Amino acid sequence: MKKDKKNIPIVFMVAGMSSRFGGIPKPFVQVGPNNETLIEIMVDYSIKNGFGKIVFIVGDKTENLFKSKFGVEYKGKPVFYAKQSIDAETRDKPWGTCEAVVLAKDFIDDDFVVCNGDDFHSEEAIKMIFDFISNNDVSAAVGGDLIESLPDIGTVNRGVFFTDEKGYINEIKEVIGISKENYKQHGLFENNLVNHSIMLLNRKNLLILEKYLVEFKLNHDGDRKSECYLPVELSRLIKSGNIIIKLLRAPENLIGVTNPGDELILKKFLTEKLTTSSKS
């Protein structure tokens, strides 16, 4: 049965302040040919390709920035905000990406797409995952080769996908601190498939993830830094039979904005892409 997609939300996780970028939130780094911000570009892609609702998971220090920029309506689409706060008496950082996505549940009725607002997601990737919703009853995640997702300088965290012969994900492992110099030391290969941090999920998944999050917090009571990672908990969902996730091969390489200088690489890429498309 074909689904009605007119009100599908896209959720952007944008609670962090990006200390490596001098306190400027990475989503507000200017990477477009005309100095458009990273988040503007991706929200515009989302609206253009059919998403009907925008949800931002903001933090204590990013809430006002996003509300000032996007308000309660942006280009005719409603905008909603969920807040990921920190109790400074007990925590040094938020509880992680699983907590972030669970916080969006009040704005989710059925299917939704969640993505990391700190990385660049191409229009092709956003369109691909939106189009997948129409005639599929399973979840999906966009991924690509590890080596193509690693920056020239610095380290990143990646969710590594393991799939069956039909392209369904049977396990996700969160690997911390990967670089082009050390990925083999992590037991990884160039063509390992990794999460591009854009996924199609649904409300039923969220309610189970919420239970997992409660368990995690109880098991880590008094821990100021441990994080509940979304890929790890999704892997748990897969193994329990509560979710089926199809891997969608990314149409383009992931260009992360992790370390200072990454934004210049992305700006060059987007400028060249726009120039090429205008000539064709």
What would the pLDDT profile of 244-256 be if each residue is shown by its tens digit?
999 999 988 777 7
- Return the minimum-mean-pLDDT range out of 20-29, 51-60, 159-168: 20-29
217-249 pLDDT tens trace:
999 999 999 999 999 999 999 999 999 999 999
Q: Is residue 274 part of a domain?
A: yes
Task: Give strand pairing partners of 84.
Answer: 59
Share of the chain above pLDDT 70, in %: 94
- Please give the pLDDT value at position 233: 96
Average confidence (pLDDT) over 77-92: 94
Q: Is residue 216 part of a domain?
A: yes
Average pLDDT of the residues of the chain = 91
- Band the pLDDT of 190: cuts 50, 70, 90: very high
Q: Is residue 197 part of a domain?
A: yes
Q: Is residue 210 part of a domain?
A: yes
Average confidence (pLDDT) over 93-112: 95
- Return the minimum-mean-pLDDT range out of 60-74, 92-106, 108-122, 243-257: 243-257
Q: Is residue 4 part of a domain?
A: no
Q: Is the pLDDT of residue 86 over 80?
A: yes
Q: Is the pLDDT of residue 19 over 90?
A: no
Interhelix angle for 38-48 vs 262-279, to 10°? 40
Q: How many domains does the chain have?
A: 1
- Please give the pLDDT value at position 22: 66
- Band the pLDDT of 153: cuts 50, 70, 90: confident
- CATH number for position 86: 3.90.550.10
**CA separation (Å) from 171 to 164, 197, 204, 210?**
10, 15, 19, 20
CB–CB of 137/110 below 8 Å?
A: no
Q: Is residue 47 part of a domain?
A: yes
Backbone angles phi, psi at 86, to 5 degrees: -120, 130
Tell me how far apart the alpha carbons of residues 86 and 92 are, in angstroms, rounded to a whole number: 7
Residue with the larger pLDDT of the pair 272 and 203: 203
Structural domain boundaries enclosing 17: 9-279
Rg (CA), the chain: 18
- Band the pLDDT of 156: cuts 50, 70, 90: confident
- Please give the pLDDT value at position 276: 66
- Please give the pLDDT value at position 256: 74
Q: Is residue 3 part of a domain?
A: no
Q: Is residue 182 part of a domain?
A: yes
- Please give the pLDDT value at position 98: 96
- pTM of the entire structure? 0.93
- Band the pLDDT of 172: cuts 50, 70, 90: very high
First to last CA, the chain: 37
Residue with the larger pLDDT of the pair 259 and 202: 202
